Amino acid sequence: MKSRVVIPVAALCALLGAGVFSWWKARATSTPPGPAVTAVPTPGGPAPRVGAPAPRRAAVPAASATEATPTALPPMPGSLQDTEEDGSVQVDGSGHLVVTPDLRRLFDYYLSAMGEEPLSVIRERILASLRAKNLPAAAMEEAVRLLDDYLAYRDAARTFAANQRGAELDLGARLESLRELRREHLGPWADGLFGDEERVDAVSVERMKLQQDTTLTPEERERRIAALDEQLPADYRAGRDEALRPLRQQTVERELVESGATAEDLRQHRLATVGPEATERLEAMDREEEAFKQRLAEFRARRDALAQSEPNPAARQAAAQRLLFDSFTPEERLRVEALDAIDAAAKAP
C-alpha cells in the first residue's frame, strides 16, 4: 500500500524522476537486452552451493523436488499478470546449484504476491518455475532446500523487525543482527544471496559516520569516502555511475547555459559527451520541453481567467479540471499537478 507523503517532496521526486528518465531514454541505444540465463555453468573457481542448513523450523512443509503430481495452480495473481519472471537460476559444470542474488530475485518475484494468495500457493509457483527450467536433479533438490530455508529466514526476519520496533539500536547494529540471522537460517549460502547487498550496506553505514564526523576536514572526508567506495561491488559501482550520469550531464549543461554558452556550444558539448544520435534526441526533447512550457503558460492563463469569471467554487473547480484534461496527456497532467504543488509550497508562508 502506498503511503501518504508530503506533497512538495512527492512533486519534486516526480519532476526529478521524469527528467532523469527522459534524459536516459534519449541517450539509450536501441539494442534490446539479452534473455536471462536460467542454467549455465559457473566460470572460474568454485561457487557457493547449498549445504546442510542450520536446524530450523520450515515456514511450510517441505516437499520432494521430484514430485510426480505437482499441485494445479490457480491463475496468476493480479500483481503478477502481464509481467515477466525476474531473476534466473545458475548451475555449475557438476550439475549443482550456484547461489546468486539472481536466484533470490526469482524467489522474491513470486513472493511479492504475498497477501494476494497463500504462501503455500506461492511456494508451488516457485517450484513450478524451477521444474520448467529442467535443472539437473542435484540442483533441483538444492534449490528446493534453499527455498524452504529462505522462507524460514523471511519469517524470522519479520519477527525480528517486529521485536525491534522502538529498540535503541543504530543502523549498523540492526544490519549486523540481520546478517547473523541470515547465516543462522541459510548458513554460508547467505553470502551468495546477500553478500553484495551486505557490502553495500556496510559502506553506507561507514559513509554516514564519515558525514557526521566533525573532526574531519572536507578534503579528508572526501578522501575517505572515495576509499570506501572502492570496496563496493564492481557491478554496483557501474550501475550507480550509470544512474547518476544523466544528473551530472544535466548539471554541466545548466552550468554551461548559465555561464553564457550558446546553443551551438551546448550542441558541441553533447556531441563530445553522448554522441550524435543521442544529441539529436536531446535536441528534439528540448523542443518538446519548450512546447510544453508554452502550453503550460497558456493553460494557467486560461485557468486564472476562469477564477475571475466563475464565482461558484465547485463549478470553477470542475471547469479547471476539464481544462486540464483537455490540455494535457495523462503523463503531462501528473507533471502539471507536481509543478502546481511546488509553486504552492514556494508561496506558502
> Within this chain, do residues 125 and 93 fall inside the same structural domain, yes or no?
yes
313, part of any domain: no
Which three cell numbers mark 263? 546553443
> Within this chain, do residues 178 and 148 fall inside the same structural domain, yes or no?
no
Q: Helix (H, G, I), strand (E, B), or coil: what is residue 148?
A: helix
Q: Helix (H, G, I), strand (E, B), or coil: what is residue 114?
A: strand
Among 212, 232, 252, the domain boundary falls at 232
Please spell the DSSP secondary structure of 212-238, one letter per residue: H-TTS-HHHHHHHHHHHHTTS-HHHHH
296, part of any domain: no
pLDDT in tens, the chain (349 residues): 434 333 444 444 444 444 544 544 454 443 344 433 344 433 334 445 554 444 444 444 444 444 445 668 999 998 898 899 999 999 999 999 999 999 999 999 999 999 899 999 999 999 999 999 999 999 999 999 999 999 999 999 988 888 877 666 677 788 888 899 999 999 988 999 998 888 888 888 888 888 888 898 888 888 888 888 887 777 777 776 666 677 777 878 888 888 888 888 888 888 887 788 888 888 888 889 899 999 999 999 999 998 889 888 888 888 888 899 999 988 888 888 888 888 887 777 6
Give the chain's domain count. 2
Amino acid 252: pLDDT:
80
Amino acid 154: pLDDT:
92
Instruction: Tell me the one-letter amino acid at 103.
Output: L
User: Phi and psi dihedrals of 90, rounded to 5?
Assistant: -120, 145
> Within this chain, do residues 144 and 163 fall inside the same structural domain, yes or no?
yes
Determine the distance from the C-alpha atom of residue 107 to the mean position of all C-alpha atoms in its chain, rounded to a whole number. 16
> Within this chain, do residues 183 and 153 fall inside the same structural domain, yes or no?
no
Question: Are 131 and 37 in contact, with CB atoms under 8 Å apart?
Answer: no
> Within this chain, do residues 125 and 147 fall inside the same structural domain, yes or no?
yes
Q: Supply the range of the domain harboring residue 220.
A: 170-232
Among 167, 188, 211, the domain boundary falls at 167
- Integer-rounded Cα radius of gyration of the chain: 26
Amino acid 163: pLDDT:
81
